[in-house]
Amino acid sequence: MGRFLLKRLVNYLVLVVVATTLAYIVASLALNPRSAYEGRNPPPPAAVVDQQLTAYGVNDKDPLLGRYADWIGGVLLHGDFGKTVTGGDINDQLGSRAMVSLRLLVLGSIIGAVVGVLAGVVSAIKKYQVTDRLITVYAFFFIATPVFFTAVLLKYGALSVNQAAGSTVLYYTGYETPNLQAGFFGHLADQIGHLILPTLSIALGQIAFFSRYQRNAMLDVMNSDFLRTAEAKGLTRRRALYKHGLRTALIPMATLLAYSFGTLAVGATFTEKIFGWHGMGEWLVDSITSNDINVVATVTLFTAVFILISGFLADVIYAVLDPRVRV
């Protein structure tokens, strides 16, 4: 098992490096940081612009590979992610933005996977009954609905709930109430209140996605010989299903889990933008619009590391579930 996990880890590390490098290079080729200086009045002298851009490490007249080496060297050796295109320090914002996004991503993926798997199992066991049909309708609807539509509908729903209740029950802007004086628990309650809707907007889609696959995997398993054997040797149907069936049906889910984090990260971008969370996704969209190469590369690195960690977790789950890889 150790060797398997080590191999996967090396694989993921290579992927992180490839993804970050590519993002940096593509961003450097396609984005034009000079545009930040073009609209100024009076126009700054070309030499000054060049000097500024070189200082920030985004001057397109410097060799690309040299700039990349400087940036990645700074990241690896000093933990320094460089400057934004306006000269701000990326490290200043990175911490708070990463925390905001992680809250959303971690909660969204855990709720999505756990509830989705449960819904899928229930759906498979109650095949073609009312519960199954309801879950299927739900799944089809939310797989077909993009996050930016779900999120706005949720906001709409929250607004009506708030109007009906006469006070703000569900928050839908930002991740905390600014300047709140409420002590530790007050803050905690406030942040949880802000978390509900954004997390839901991500989780609803994830649940739908997982429940469909889990249903199929479970149905395959339910027709298999080993379950009949388990029942024949005297286990109850329920016990056989949960002890032998679910475990087998979960194996393909582990792989799926690793694949789904990419979509999750993209979905979180919409959620952050719509709910006004100042997280990594919002930063990415803004940085593309403002031609900010270093920020694009930083956010890619963050996403890649997130996918690495969660993909690695998926592999651990896989190794625990499937004895064949432990040899």
Partner 1 sequence: MTYPADPLVIADDAAISDDPGEKPPSAVVVRGRGSLVFRRFRKNKPALVALVVLVLLFIAAFIGPFVYKAVTGWTYSDQDYSAFLSPPTGSHWFGTSQIGQDVFAQTMRGLQKSLIIGLLVALISTGLAAVVGACAGYFGGWVDRALMWGVDLLLVIPSFLIVAIISPAFQDAGWIVLVFLIAVFAWMITARIIRGMTLSLKEREFVLAARYSGVSPAGIIFRHLIPNMSSLLIIDATIAVASAIIAETGLSYFGFGVQPPDVSLGNLIASGTRSAFTFPWLFMFSGGLLVATTLAVSVIGDALRDALDPASSRAGSTK
Contact residues toward partner 1 (CB under 8 A) are 15, 18-19, 22-23, 26-27, 30-31, 140-141, 143-146, 148-149, 152, 155-156, 159, 262, 266, 269-270, 273-274, 284-285, 288-289, 296, 300, 303-304
Q: In angstroms, rounded to a whole number, what is the distance separating the alpha carbons of residues 45 and 11?
A: 47
Q: Which positions ≥6 away from 5 have C-beta within 8 Å?
A: 312, 315, 316, 319
Closest CB to partner 1 among residues 55, 137: 137
Q: In angstroms, rounded to a whole number, what is the distance separating the alpha carbons of residues 218 and 247?
A: 10
- State the nearest-atom distance from the C-beta of 27 to partner 1, in Å: 6
In the numeric block, the tokens 């991740």 are attached to 175
Q: Is 305 exposed, middle or buried (0-12, 13-18, 19+ CB in 10 A)?
A: middle
- State the nearest-atom distance from the C-beta of 19 to partner 1, in Å: 5
Closest CB to partner 1 among residues 156, 226: 156
Distance set, CA 9 to CA 23, 153, 260, 265, 319 (Å): 21, 40, 18, 20, 13
- State the nearest-atom distance from the C-beta of 18 to partner 1, in Å: 6
Closest CB to partner 1 among residues 25, 114: 25
- State the nearest-atom distance from the C-beta of 143 to partner 1, in Å: 6
Closest CB to partner 1 among residues 114, 256: 256
- State the nearest-atom distance from the C-beta of 297 to partner 1, in Å: 10
Contact 177, 185 (CB under 8 A): no
